[in-house]
Amino acid sequence: MFGLGTPELIIILVLVLVIFGAGKLPQVGGALGKGLRNFKDGMHDDATDVTEAEKLEKKDDDKA
């Protein structure tokens, strides 16, 4: 996972805890999760759009 080991992850988590504090940590995690979910859904929608466009092109080619 990006070449990060356990010591690096611990340092990152401690820095995040110091910057945001324990009270805001759940909010930050929730916002990050929602952002990743939206990104994933957007990528899935784009792939679906490309597939539908390819199907339309094949239908047009078959008619010609």
Q: Which residues contact 12 (CB under 8 A, 6 or more apart)?
A: 4
Q: What is the pLDDT of residue 6?
A: 92
In the predicted structure, residue 1 carries a pLDDT above the cut 60: no
Q: What is the pLDDT of residue 51?
A: 75
More confident residue, 47 or 21: 21
From 40, 44, 22, 43, select the one nearest 32 (Cα to Cα). 40
Phi-psi region of 5 (alpha: psi -120 to 50; beta: other; left: phi over 0): beta
State the pTM of this model: 0.51
DSSP one-letter code for 64 = -
